[in-house]
A and B are shown apart, each in its own frame.
Chain A
Amino acid sequence: MTAAVPGVPAVRSWVRLPVAAAFFAALGGVLLLPEVLSVYQIYLALEVLIFGLAATSLNLLVGYAGMVSFGHAAYFGAASYCAALAMKYAGVSMWTALLVAPLGSTVLAFVYGIFCVRLSRIYFAMLTLAFAQLTYTVAFQWYGVTGGDTGLLGVMPADAIAEPQTYFRFTALVVAACIAVLYAVVRSPFGLTLRSIQQNRVRVELLGVNPYLYQLGAFVIAGFFAGVAGALYAFEKGAVFPDYLSLGHSLKFILMTLLGGFTVFLGPLLGALVFELLNSVLTNYTQYWQLPLAVCLAAVILFAPSGLSGLFLRKR
């Protein structure tokens, strides 16, 4: 606890006991899941965790910094490619690839971010889209290195975690650690500053804060965690395709974030869960899963405008 200064609210301790208890209880539950789930369900749960992490990292921008990125798949997919390329051309192990990949997406987010964060709202969104499409087309057209749309195959996890059950537990631990760090980030002074920039930029500037630096920081952090998700995804699929970088993936992350509710930290994770469950249940019955999803979205828009999590948590 910092000492109380008159007029300045003390920054609350970052992690409270009930939150930590709930976190470890949930993690314990998730780690037990492979005992009860079929292999198909394990892969489904893997996607929930991975996309949930990607959407949560996106929400650092959307929900906390008010920056809507249309190109978050660029950092997700770039990490997938980094992992695959590092294994293919440098012959590194899966563990090294998993460490290198998010660094690659972080560098990319830094370079793109320098230009993006200078722009406001729609122009920001459009530049993130342009950079993501640029990255996508490079992966798609640079046949010699990326294999074009045939992708890169044989991105296999190390033997120790090659089984679906063990890979799921490994992923759950990594995702949990990332979610915990992201939670600490949004509750840190850095996170609070981000939110205040969104609420009153001029005032924050007058207090001597450079908003660009904070927004760039958020962009880079979001790129890093999207990269962790992208690397995990590459090893789940065992292959990397340009589709990972596509607008379709970027839109999916936005959809999950908004479906779950961007005003709540765990909203995007909930959105990923609902999206994947809906998707898998519907595809059992019909190939037309987008139409029911559209109806759900319309219902959320008209009746639950703060996302699904808003239905449970009503702000006073």
Chain B
Amino acid sequence: MSIETLAIQAAVGLVNAMLLFLVASGLSLIFGVSRIINFAHGSFYMLGAYAAFTLAQFAPTHPGWLLLAVALSALAVAVVGALVETSFLRRVYASDELFQLLATFAVVLAVSDLVKIVWGSANKSLPLPATYRQALPILGQPFPVYYFLLLVLGVVVMAGLWWLVYRTRWGVQVRACTDDRDMANAIGINQKWLTTSVFLLGTGLAGLGGVFAAVMGTITPVMDSDMLVEAFVVVVVGGLGSLLGSFVAALIVGELKAMAILVFPSASMVIVFLLMAVILIVRPWGLFGEAEE
């Protein structure tokens, strides 16, 4: 295979890695602070895609709508996520972790049906303005403009996320809670508000990922479970609760999948889960996580 093919697959892998990171980082943050394995995370991702689809019905002609749709959809999903947390999930924090699991399943099932009721079971796609569908020649291969737009947007969001988590007071509290919940509680960090705000951010990131996925491909009522499983892979490989870990793992998984399609097309999915299993066997806490006792 030629260098060009490799480069193109690498670029495709990069965009997918960014999408994976957006979703997985939200999952990881939520797990870090609330200790909940949020099976509903894929559902929020799916909601983001459908929210963008609905917004696209209103202003599809102007090239600027895409940016607006991205921002509004992610925001809408974030609000829904925070509402689900305050009205429902909050009640099970004190319960056995099995009930937390059951609670997030309930959200998965409910969202799955609500999506079908509101948007129908047929696949949908976003009507992209022609400006974004134009192809730029990179290494002699056509690349649609929206790929670059998503890459730039993604990098901006990642930078913002990094600033939030590593450079603000809120970020210090989030990391403190992730490290040691009881101690954070003891020194007076308001867990209730912190958890809600982390859900707001985490589900917003999932929603953002959903919008990106909607721009790149089709919107389906079953897109939640595929992404959920991949987000689990990224979070586990990178280390639960580690933002840097999720970033590196998303790159690894995104590129591994893109390259595996070239080398062993029939085993591309197998390799990803093999990586997850090997990491869990050799280093269960992940590449950048910290070993528990």
A residues bordering B, Cβ < 8 Å?
Answer: 62, 68, 115, 119-123, 125-127, 129-131, 133-134, 137-138, 140-143, 247-248, 251, 254-255, 258, 262, 287-291, 293-295, 297-298, 300-302, 305
Residue from the list B110, B229, B277 in contact with A127, Cβ < 8 A: B277
Report yes or no: A247 in contact with B229, Cβ–Cβ below 8 A: yes
In the bound complex, CA of A302 to CA of B94 (Å):
12
Among B103, B240, B273, the most chain A Cβ lie within 10 Å of the Cβ of: B273
Report yes or no: B273 in contact with A126, Cβ–Cβ below 8 A: no
Name the A residues within 8 Å of B106 (CB-CB). 294-295, 297-298, 301
Distance between A31 CB and nearest chain B CB, rounded to angstroms: 33
Name the A residues within 8 Å of B269 (CB-CB). 137, 140-141
Interface string of B114-135 (1 = CB under 8 A from A): 1011000000000000000000
Residue from the list B102, B116, B240, B280 in contact with A300, Cβ < 8 A: B102
Beyond the given A130-B233, A297-B103, please list 5 additional residue pairs across the A-B interface where CB-CB is below 8 A: A134-B277, A138-B270, A290-B109, A293-B109, A301-B92
In the bound complex, CA of A122 to CA of B97 (Å):
10
Report yes or no: B276 in contact with A68, Cβ–Cβ below 8 A: no
Given contacts A134-B274, A297-B105, contact A125 B37 (CB under 8 A): yes
The B interface is mostly helix, strand or loop, or mixed, namely helix
- Closest 9 pairs between A and B when the two form their complex, measured CB to CB: A294-B110, A291-B113, A294-B109, A297-B106, A290-B109, A130-B276, A137-B269, A134-B273, A130-B277
Residue from the list A122, A137, A142, A287 in contact with B37, Cβ < 8 A: A122
Residue from the list B107, B113, B270 in contact with A137, Cβ < 8 A: B270
Report yes or no: B99 in contact with A305, Cβ–Cβ below 8 A: yes
Given contacts A258-B98, A297-B109, contact A133 B229 (CB under 8 A): yes
Name the B residues within 8 Å of A294 (CB-CB). 105-110, 113
In the bound complex, CA of A225 to CA of B229 (Å):
26
Distance between B261 CB and nearest chain A CB, rounded to angstroms: 12
Name the B residues within 8 Å of A143 (CB-CB). 266
Distance between A71 CB and nearest chain B CB, rounded to angstroms: 10
Name the A residues within 8 Å of B97 (CB-CB). 68, 121
Report yes or no: A301 in contact with B102, Cβ–Cβ below 8 A: yes
Distance between B76 CB and nearest chain A CB, rounded to angstroms: 20
The tally of residues in B whose CB lies under 8 Å from a CB in A reads 44
Report yes or no: B98 in contact with A134, Cβ–Cβ below 8 A: no
Report yes or no: B277 in contact with A251, Cβ–Cβ below 8 A: no
In the bound complex, CA of A130 to CA of B272 (Å):
9
Among A121, A130, A288, the most chain B Cβ lie within 10 Å of the Cβ of: A130
Could you show 7 A-B contacts with beta carbons less than 8 Å apart?
A68-B101, A115-B277, A115-B280, A126-B280, A134-B273, A293-B109, A305-B95
Report yes or no: B109 in contact with A141, Cβ–Cβ below 8 A: no
Distance between B92 CB and nearest chain A CB, rounded to angstroms: 6
In the bound complex, CA of A140 to CA of B274 (Å):
15
Report yes or no: B232 in contact with A126, Cβ–Cβ below 8 A: yes
Report yes or no: B280 in contact with A298, Cβ–Cβ below 8 A: no
Name the B residues within 8 Å of A120 (CB-CB). 292
Report yes or no: B110 in contact with A290, Cβ–Cβ below 8 A: yes
Report yes or no: B232 in contact with A248, Cβ–Cβ below 8 A: no
Name the A residues within 8 Å of B166 (CB-CB). none
CB nearest neighbor in B for A125: B37
Name the B residues within 8 Å of A140 (CB-CB). 269
* Cβ of B162 under 8 Å from chain A: no
Residue from the list A68, A133, A298 in contact with B273, Cβ < 8 A: A133
In the bound complex, CA of A143 to CA of B265 (Å):
12
Among B97, B114, B267, B281, the most chain A Cβ lie within 10 Å of the Cβ of: B281
Distance between A37 CB and nearest chain B CB, rounded to angstroms: 28
CB nearest neighbor in B for A141: B266
In the bound complex, CA of A287 to CA of B267 (Å):
35
Distance between A300 CB and nearest chain B CB, rounded to angstroms: 7
Given contacts A129-B232, A247-B225, A301-B92, contact A254 B270 (CB under 8 A): no
In the bound complex, CA of A129 to CA of B280 (Å):
11
* Cβ of B215 under 8 Å from chain A: no
* Cβ of B148 under 8 Å from chain A: no
CB nearest neighbor in A for B235: A126
In the bound complex, CA of A148 to CA of B179 (Å):
44
* Cβ of B236 under 8 Å from chain A: yes
